[in-house]
Amino acid sequence: MKRMLSFPVVLFVLASSSFGCAKPVSQAAPPASPPVGAAVDVKANVTASPPFAGSWESCAGAESPDQCSRYLLLQRGQRICGTWSYFASGDSYEGRVMAEAISPVEARRTGICGRPGSETRTECEAGWDAVDRPLRLCGGKLGDLDGKDGRCFADFERVEHPGPSLDDLAAQAWVEACFSRKEEKSK
């Protein structure tokens, strides 16, 4: 009987790990699971970090984990700097984002660069596109679109992501330039 009760749990864990999706923080493995130190450290960083900082992922409509949309964000004061990626029309798009928090739950993306597509026209080596697009937190999720009637539409979950870490992102030279960049007033 005991074996039958543990069997579905084992299948779920195997199915989750073979699919390769990042685990939402709220569903992360208990601290007793290896690696113990990593799980505890990540949770400590999530609760101690500014509201927009972290790894965010949306897999709605994705056929595989490689097709999930992602944000990896750092926040220092009101400034938010990070990376974005999404999959569309059979191609992957990625780039960098700069935003300003205007409250603990709302920010405006002010600059974006990356592989030209629907988000940007400018490669990061050439500079930044000026934009005015939302980043919002609601219900513990991140949203990057304006919802109907100004409502918050958020589908990015905070995750423990196996890919690049926040520390790796923070070590990149462009991130410090992003944090020290002065916003230019648009006309």
DSSP string over 87-115:
EETTEEEEEEEEEEEEETTEEEEEEEEES
Domains of the chain: total: 1
User: Which are the contacts of 42, defined by CB distance < 8 A and separation ≥ 6?
Assistant: 25, 28, 160
In a domain, 5, yes or no: no
Lowest mean pLDDT among 16-25, 63-72, 125-134: 16-25
In a domain, 2, yes or no: no
Q: Are 99 and 80 in contact (CB under 8 A)?
A: yes
Structure tokens at 96: 């960098």
In a domain, 137, yes or no: yes
Residue with more model confidence, 62 or 76: 76
pLDDT single digits (tens) 152-172: 889 999 998 656 788 899 999
In a domain, 72, yes or no: yes
In a domain, 8, yes or no: no
In a domain, 151, yes or no: yes
In a domain, 17, yes or no: no
C-alpha 50/C-alpha 75 separation (Å) is: 6
| High-pLDDT (> 90) share of the chain, % | 51
Which residues constitute the domain of residue 82?
24-180
C-alpha 81/C-alpha 98 separation (Å) is: 5
In a domain, 186, yes or no: no
Q: What's the mean per-residue pLDDT of the chain?
A: 75
Residue 107, pLDDT above cutoff 90: yes
pLDDT-derived band at 57 (thresholds 50, 70, 90) equals very high
Structure tokens at 152: 């918050």
Residue 179, pLDDT above cutoff 70: yes
pLDDT for the residue 112: 96
pTM assigned to the model: 0.70
Burial of 98 (0-12, 13-18, 19+ CB in 10 A): buried
